[in-house]
Amino acid sequence: MPMRLVVATNNPHKIDELRPLFPYHELLIPSDLGLKEFCPEENGKTFFENAYIKAKTIYQLSGMPSIADDSGLCIEALSGRPGIESARYGSNGGRLLTASEKNSLLLSELVNISNRSCAFVCCLVLYYGKQRFICVQETLEGEIAKSPKGRGGFGYDPIVYLPQCGKTVAELSANEKNKISHRGKAAQKMASILSTLNLEH
């Protein structure tokens, strides 16, 4: 059954990636409901905790089934950094770095380091009733490239190389990315679960 779901994000890139992955449902963002100042404090220590905070908050504000995504890049040689700090990495509480600045920072931290293993992680939480939620977490594993390549995608995509594809994530087409990405795989599983639920709003 088609549903209206509120996605707990103000990031247009995330909603653009999620809409094709939930083709049978109407995805709204907080501003569609007049919630223009949606900015909950993400003080969790894991992707799940932060996704749960966002999904529960928007559910409480809207009364509608809500989906939240928390995602980031985890680099093995950096003990999992930037991890849950991916969006704010390198800011030191000040100005947020641009995507290219963050990519340059990470590449500088990995100079002369042979272990380039990394993984994008995406946790999706569907919050659909008091104390009722579903969580799906997926990954896309790859390697940190020596230099950025590709103009597609966003964020860290240009520096994550996928040996199985012979490309960085930024060199994939939108369709290719949706099939194999951390967010794509998590959304496909969540969409399958949604098809079994009967949420009337």
The answer to whether the peptide bond before residue 148 is cis (omega within 30 degrees of 0) is no
Closest C-alpha to 135, from 143, 147, 144, 127: 127
Q: Is 70 a catalytic residue?
A: yes
Catalytic: which of 16, 69, 70, 157? 70
Three-state secondary-structure class, residue 192? helix
**Residue 192, CB half-sphere, CA atoms under 13 Å: how many?**
8
User: What is the spatial order of strands in the sheet that 26-28 belongs to?
Assistant: 26-28, 4-7, 66-75, 117-129, 132-144, 160-162, 167-168
Closest C-alpha to 116, from 65, 85, 160, 153: 160
CB 26 within 8 A of CB 19: no
Question: Which amino acid type is present at position 60?
Answer: Q
Residues with active-site annotation: 70
